[in-house]
Structure 1
């Protein structure tokens, strides 16, 4: 529920656009270790003889740490604010990533070093950046979150090209500190100058400021955990991510199994990244203007169209392109919808803790989806059974979002009588 006396959308952007800019680069930094891993695999495999699974397991270590620690980082965010978590986290992340170039020919040491990277990574998870943005925006919260989350598209577009050039020019050992140094030079000044949560801005600005940030109000953590809304939102995020990532992370082999050449498959799969930005911004625009439950419920059904096209017309390149575009549009909406609905159903007073718990379950889905898809392929020799298995998951996610109920009205730190988020 948007407060009647909330600043206009234009005033919110005038007050908070620099925070959104910093958070956009923060989201890019959050996902950077995923997108820079690919170019490093072949040269490390050549030098050390490790399998590709052993090399890429480093990213899995970071993902696991993020899932386990997310609720605790959320509690820290609620206590000290996102700025005091993001700044040291970004420094630790960049510094430990730079050290990866010193990895010896011992795969266990490699995993331990990635654990060190994970210590910094857990402090700059999406919760950190979305918390700051959600606290400064009310009327235009959906679009502000959408712009912030476009940082993943920025990272996926720039980092592979940059890292490949650095490896070809200076070797993989030097590429790690060079990449980390470049990222630090770009993002750390932005974070230091512009990244402030709502509480930080209240301390820095006089009470009579013309556009003060919205007051942080909402349900307690106990109220949220006891509510059916929390269970539905967490389940929706988990099953949708399991299905969507299970398909999109394997787009190249899926398209290859349908008769496309490797070059064709890679080209078609690349459309998903481009359209995800469009989907994210479009969803942000819509949820600011229409009921977010219904917008989300419709968006998570859209991938069923792409899946049906995969099953009905395998190998038809034009139709496969349309199917991938449809999947990309929905994938771009995923994180935006869940983050936005968390703020609307539970408020912003304990957003860090509550969304941290939602995202910890969500992180597990990132590992479950691709593993399940490839397991079914290994058993059957086709990705069709995986696609059939994922189809009902989209429907389950949609049903959860459609039945979340009206947004509660919050005053102070608790909802008004008769509008409890536990209802």
Structure 2
């Protein structure tokens, strides 16, 4: 949970939302140009996610997670030196995307999924609550830092959480279970290997592609709404301080989504839970349209957007384990995280372009309503969970077949 909270998944999103306005005022770059930085961060990170996941499958999560978290601290702190040169701004984000994906749930969730089976959904939900904790605390702390030293101070200030909170605990205690500590239901055979299929096998089935497309659509709808939330709130006539409060309400929505959806995933068919959950952020987009809503109405929209974030990350982490097993979890999860990273990177630029062209975010919020609905509906086609402990004859080597 601490690794998730203090890594490259939630921290940049929550900082970006607060600095986009000051950067626009100081450098004169438009919102589309500033928001395009997320492409240089998200796309390299998304493309490298399967590689980082594969490293975890082979070498364990501890080494990869610690090294990547340290790299995240160094690179994100260096954003303090952002020049008045848009290419330089993009290069900072490119460097972040290349080194920091190993500090996201792509890494942290693998060990958690291997410790738990019966309550895996809730365990993953608690792990991913880190993003909710970040959204509750970081915007206020970063807003305070900006008040002291300007927008540049936001970047090193945000990394203090990783340096002094997450890193000491992870170095001291974070590990994967030993073979004898794993739940019996995830083991396959006497070799101590965990059960599951390869990425190549996963890509042959419809479940992989349904999850991939659903994740892409939902991330395009969600990413920009989160990054631009401060500006959305300000368009309704409220201050930056009010917007930071709404970001905390977003965090509350993430918390409810994480724990509530994780709990329900353990007890019911997960796609049947996920689809109605995706209709809530669609409602949020409708609520956030316009420029004159009451603060309570805007806060409600922020809360429901948070539920989307809480649900979507649970969907990918939980369903990767349920539909593909844990033997190649890192590589498969990394591959399914890739569209999330790409969609979340494209989305802020799309929201920014609509803002630049029309003065509001209403058109993009309308598109997001459809994306949330279609993305959620696709999950209903996933079907039953496979049973990886039922050995299939066609998957065995000749010597094993003779033993059977």
TM-score range, shorter chain: 0.7 to 0.9
Structure 1: segments with no counterpart, 5+ residues: 1-22
Q: Tell me if the contact between 1:29 and 1:155 (Cα under 8 Å) persists in the aligned partners.
A: no
* Pair 312,38 (structure 1): closer, same or farther in 2 beyond 3 Å: closer
C-alpha displacement of 1:44: 6.9
Distance 1:49 1:384 in 2: 26
Instruction: Please state how far the C-alpha of 1:389 moved relative to its aligned partner.
Output: 2.4
Q: Which residue of structure 1 lines up, in the alignment, with residue 191 of structure 2? A: none
Correspondence for 2:399: none
1:19-418 residue pairs with structure 2 within 5 A?
A: 23-30=1-8, 31-37=10-16, 49=27, 51=29, 59-101=38-80, 108-166=87-145, 168-169=147-148, 180=159, 183-198=162-177, 201-202=178-179, 207=180, 214-215=186-187, 216-254=194-232, 260-263=236-239, 266=243, 267-268=245-246, 270-309=248-287, 315=293, 318-379=296-357, 382-411=360-389, 416=392
Q: Compute the displacement of 1:230 (Å).
A: 0.4
CA change 1:39–1:333 in 2 (3 A) is closer
Distance 1:285 1:375, change over 3 A: same
Question: Residue by residue, what CA displacement relative to the aligned partner does 1:240-268 show, whole Å, maximum 9, x if unpaired?
Answer: 121233444444544555xx312397255
Q: How many residues align?
A: 385
Tell me the equivalent position of 1:15: none
Answer whether contact 1:255 1:315 (CA < 8 A) is retained.
no
Deviations 1:112-155 (A, max 9, x none): 44444334312222210111111111111111111111111222
SS in 2 for 1:74: helix
Label 1:316 to 1:70 Cα distance change in 2 as closer, same or farther (>3 A): same
Tell me by how many angstroms 1:279 deviates. Answer: 1.7
Deviations 1:304-333 (A, max 9, x none): 333455569973554444444333323321
Tell me the secondary structure at the aligned position of residue 289 of structure 1. coil
TM-score, length of structure 2 as denominator length: 0.81
Asked if 1 retains the 8 angstrom alpha-carbon contact of 2:68 and 2:103, the reply is: yes
Looking at structure 1, the residues matched to 361 and 21 of structure 2 have their Cα atoms a distance apart, in angstroms, of 26
Q: Secondary structure at the match of 1:196?
A: coil
Matched residue, 1:19: none
Aligned residue for 2:7, secondary structure, equals helix
Instruction: Report the more deviating stretch, 394-403 or 358-367.
Output: 394-403
Q: TM-score, normalised by structure 1?
A: 0.78
Residue range with higher mean Cα deviation, 384-393 or 287-296: 384-393
Note closer, same or farther for the CA distance 1:275–1:114 as it changes in structure 2 (3 Å cut): closer
Q: How much has 1:400 moved relative to structure 2? A: 1.4
Structure 1 residue 41, shift from structure 2 partner: 6.1
Cα distance per residue 1:78-110 (max 9 Å; x no partner): 111211211111222223334444556655455
C-alpha deviation, 1:190, in angstroms: 1.1
- Distance in 2, matches of 1:298 and 1:328, equals 15
**d(CA) in 2 for partners of 1:374 and 1:43?**
15
Q: Return the offset for 1:176.
A: 5.4
CA contact (8 A) 1:90 1:124 kept: yes
Rounded to whole Å, the distance in 2 between the matches of 1:171 and 1:254 is: 21
Q: Matched residue of 2:382: which SS?
A: coil
Q: Distance in 2 between matches of 1:310 and 1:168?
A: 27
* Contact 1:137/1:214, CA 8 A, preserved across alignment: no
Measure the CA separation in 2 of the matches of 1:122 and 1:355. Answer: 12
RMSD (CA atoms):
3.5
CA contact (8 A) 1:62 1:117 kept: yes
